[in-house]
Amino acid sequence: MKAPRCGAFCFVFLHQQLLHYRRHRDGQRICDTTENVKNCLACATYRISLRQMPFRVGNGVHTLKKGHILVGEALVPGVVIHSLQHYDRLYERIKKASQRGTEILLTILQD
């Protein structure tokens, strides 16, 4: 898959995986993701920050609010495990980029 044009530091949500692109290199897989199909974000590019992150810790999608994405390791459709460990790693990446003053983008592509 060709890297999307999304700035110097971005995350791409595609096929229930979160990919990291940096300076238009090939995507590096970070973790699996899942959303509640009734409350998912629209396909678009979003600016994210430590205060406005759509990523959440949890195991199942049934209690997710609109625009939230669970991160972790896929177990079955709609369920992830090891969510906290993956969230912590993702949070640290976003925190470091934010401290450098880098714009952080999340691009959601249609499957």
pLDDT digits (tens, 9 = 90+) for 27-72: 677 888 888 888 888 888 889 899 999 999 999 888 888 889 889 8
Task: Decide if 32 is inside a domain.
Answer: yes
Task: Decide if 2 is inside a domain.
Answer: no
- If one counts the domains in the chain, the total is 1
Task: Decide if 1 is inside a domain.
Answer: no
Task: Decide if 100 is inside a domain.
Answer: yes
Task: Decide if 37 is inside a domain.
Answer: yes
Show the tokens assigned to 70.
């669970």
**pLDDT tens digits for 71-88?**
988 888 888 999 999 999
Task: Decide if 30 is inside a domain.
Answer: yes
Task: Decide if 26 is inside a domain.
Answer: yes
Highest mean pLDDT among 4-13, 62-71, 85-94: 85-94
Cα 87 versus chain centre, distance: 9
Please list the residues that pair with 28 across neighbouring strands: 20
* Domain around 98: 9-108
